[in-house]
């Protein structure tokens, strides 16, 4: 039996804001962002499953909106490998906000 994991919504009081939502294979995913305190070029993102999800329910990403660079590339690659529709959704979101 494959393990499932719980999506952990980041707290609003810590500066997180939900910016998008996507449904993939009957699973709702929410994308949150939080500006980094030390720079305005980088933003931290957390992709969270609503409820439980198989394999992985939380993905961390960091995006530089001036250069287009993505940090925490391992989670981005896991998305691409195991959840291609979700990867496409996140990638399209990132492209839409590139300055």
Token pair recorded at residue 85: 């529709």
Residue 59 token pair: 């993905």
Listed by start position, the domains of the chain span: 4-97
- Determine the pLDDT at residue 26: 84
Hey, which bits of 1-99 come out as E strands? Answer: 4-6, 17-24, 27-35, 42-49, 52-54, 58-64, 70-71
What are the pLDDT digits (tens) for 14-60? Answer: 999 999 999 977 899 999 999 998 888 899 999 999 999 998 999 99
Q: Confidence band (pLDDT; 50, 70, 90) for 68? A: confident
Instruction: Find, among 23, 74, 75, 82, the residue nearest to 49 by Cα.
Output: 23
Reply yes or no on whether the pLDDT at 97 is more than 80: no
Q: Report the alpha-carbon angle 36-84-14, nearest 5.
A: 25
pTM of the entire structure? 0.90
């Amino acid at each position: 039996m494959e393990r499932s994991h719980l999506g952990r919504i980041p707290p609003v009081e810590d500066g997180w804001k939900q910016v998008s939502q996507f449904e993939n294979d009957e699973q709702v995913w929410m994308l949150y962002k939080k500006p980094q305190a030390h720079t305005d070029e980088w933003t931290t993102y957390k992709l969270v499953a609503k409820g439980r999800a198989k394999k992985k329910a939380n993905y961390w990403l960091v995006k530089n909106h001036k250069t287009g660079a993505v940090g925490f590339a391992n989670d981005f690659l896991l998305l691409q490998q195991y959840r291609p529709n979700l990867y496409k959704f996140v990638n399209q979101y990132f492209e839409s906000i590139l300055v």
